[in-house]
Structure formats: structure tokens, C-alpha cells
A and B are shown apart, each in its own frame.
Chain A
């Protein structure tokens, strides 16, 4: 399991908590999950713990919906896990990660990334895709256009905040300083037509 894929699955599990819980604990829980992953805690153990916690939290908040709500949480989490897995197009990194680029202005993410890539002489194009407000400024995918064996899977996504304060969005990248491959990063931008945006979902066959 690659780190970015594990992060997406864990973010999916965190998404099963009620909004009020996420607004209070979401950021810290995301950071805690990253630290546990770094320590070698299995991703499935972290995700399962959050799913169980989410089911209990929902049951606690709405006792009248105890069974249905808890089951819905678990079902949502189970459904989200493979989607999160397949939505990740980023290979794992085998290189050291020295350069961290974090999007600080979601509304200007495209220009911000282009400037950062140019400053480091990276051949990485930035594409944009209209999305819902919370995904504006989030990295939707990273696809390698051409790469040497040294650079294969060298770009890692960073799990961080969503536009508006939620957690579970990719808001940055980590690359080795000597990255020489070509890649394309797709970033969420505000829809120009009110209420019209793409529901972003990538489904990749298992054998890829």
C-alpha cells in the first residue's frame, strides 16, 4: 500500500465522522494518522479504528438512529476505501523527499504551483478542473508523463486541509530535488458557471 493511497483511505474513514466532530478533531486526527503511518502502524488498522469511532460517534449523537446510522457509517467507509484507492494515480516514491510544495492560496493554486515548479526547474504541467468549493486548490491527481527509472513514483502528495477548513484534501507535493521526469498535476479550480462542476472520480483497472 502506497502512502498516498493509505492517506486517501484514512481520509475517507475520517469523512464518516459527523461534521461537528471533524471541525473539532479533523485536522489533528489527520496529523495523528500521518504520524502513526510514519511509525509503521498499518493503514488498515488506523482506518478501521476511525471507522469504528465514527460509527460510535454517530450512534451517540442520534440514539434514535443508532443501528441505521452506525451501519451507514461503516458501509460508507467500506465503499469509500476502494474508491480512494483507485482514485490515486500516484506511484510510491523510492527517492528521498527534500522539496515540499504546499498550496497556501487555494484560489491561486495553479499559478502558485507553476511558479514553484519553474523555480526548481521541474518539467511538471499544471492542469485545472472545475470542482466544488471545498476542493478548490486541492490536488486531484498526479500523472507521470515520462520518467526515468530513478524518478519513477518520486512525486508524493501531501494530505492536508480542504478549502474552507475541512480535512482530507491533498494540498501539497513532496519531490526529490533532482527530479527530472515529466508529469502533470491536476488542481481543482472554482467553477465558472455557478453550480456546475465535475464530480471528480478516477477508476483505474486493478491490473494497472
Chain B
């Protein structure tokens, strides 16, 4: 099964894991370093990413070209989302929305 978003974009985040989606969502409003990412993700999702999970996901996203590292500040490495990352996140959120709408309709909850 292939998941597709609006404009028929491939959902490259489908297999990237929840941590990757949370990180991209956090970076969507501006660059952040590791600790700021953990704090922000906890605030909007209630999920506390472990540091090992965080670095694994950051490396994976960077390999996929979805985020990029900015110049080091002190010992910290801030990251920003790339144009490809924005596209991937939009596509993934669209796919999630379709699942959400379908699920709510089938449960008789209507749409938000």
C-alpha cells in the first residue's frame, strides 16, 4: 500500500516513525536544538522523547534531507526544516487527516 498526500506527493514520513513527525512539527515554527526540541514536543504532544531517540531521528531526517544543521552555538547544534521537510510534513499531515476524518465518520463522531 502506498500512502499519498495532496498533489500526489509521496508520504516519505510514513515509515520514519513518530519521533520524526514530532521533530518536523516542532521545527516548523523555527530552528531548535536538542533540548529545546524535547521541551517543545513535550508541550504540544505530551510525549517526552528520550535523548537517544531524538538523536537517532535527527540523523535519519538529516540523511533524508528533511532537516539541516545550522552553525553550532556553543556546544549545541540547532536544526532547521528544509523545503523538502515542509513538503514531507504537509503530505504526512494530509494523510493523517484523511485517516482521522474516515475514523471519525465511521465512529459516528462527524468531522471537526
Contact of A36 among B38, B53, B55, B75 (CB under 8 A): B38
Chain B residues with CB under 8 Å of A53's CB are 50-53, 55-56
Contact of B52 among A28, A35, A54 (CB under 8 A): A54
Q: Please indicate which of the listed interface residues A31, A32, A35 has the most CB atoms of chain B within 10 Å of its own CB.
A: A32
Quick one: which of B21-74 are within 8 Å of A by CB? 33-35, 38, 48, 50-53, 55-56, 59
Minimum Cβ distance to chain B for residue A118 (Å): 30
Q: A49 to B101, alpha carbons, bound, how many Å?
A: 34
Q: A46 to B35, alpha carbons, bound, how many Å?
A: 13
Minimum Cβ distance to chain B for residue A23 (Å): 12
- A104: Cβ under 8 A from any B Cβ: no
- B98: Cβ under 8 A from any A Cβ: no
- The majority secondary structure among interface residues of chain A is helix
Chain B minimum-CB-distance residue to A31: B75
Known contacts A25-B55, A27-B75, A57-B56, A32 near B35 by CB under 8 Å: yes
Known contacts A28-B75, A28-B76, A49 near B35 by CB under 8 Å: no
- B104: Cβ under 8 A from any A Cβ: no
- Residue contact B34 to A32, C-beta cutoff 8 Å: yes
- Residue contact B56 to A33, C-beta cutoff 8 Å: no
**What are the interface flags for A33-75 relative to B under an 8 Å C-beta threshold, 1 for contact and 0 otherwise?**
1011000010001101111111011000000000000000000
Chain B residues with CB under 8 Å of A33's CB are 51
Chain B residues with CB under 8 Å of A54's CB are 52
**What are the interface flags for B83-101 relative to A under an 8 Å C-beta threshold, 1 for contact and 0 otherwise?**
0000000000000000000
**What are the interface flags for A122-154 relative to B under an 8 Å C-beta threshold, 1 for contact and 0 otherwise?**
000000000000000000000000000000000
Q: A172 to B22, alpha carbons, bound, how many Å?
A: 36
- A29: Cβ under 8 A from any B Cβ: yes
Query: 16 A-B contacts, Cβ less than 8 Å apart?
Result: A28-B75, A28-B77, A31-B75, A32-B34, A32-B35, A33-B51, A36-B38, A36-B51, A41-B48, A46-B51, A48-B50, A52-B53, A53-B51, A56-B52, A56-B56, A57-B59
Q: A28 to B48, alpha carbons, bound, how many Å?
A: 18
Q: A53 to B49, alpha carbons, bound, how many Å?
A: 12
Chain B residues with CB under 8 Å of A52's CB are 50, 52-53
Q: A46 to B55, alpha carbons, bound, how many Å?
A: 12
- Residue contact B33 to A28, C-beta cutoff 8 Å: yes
Chain A residues with CB under 8 Å of B48's CB are 41
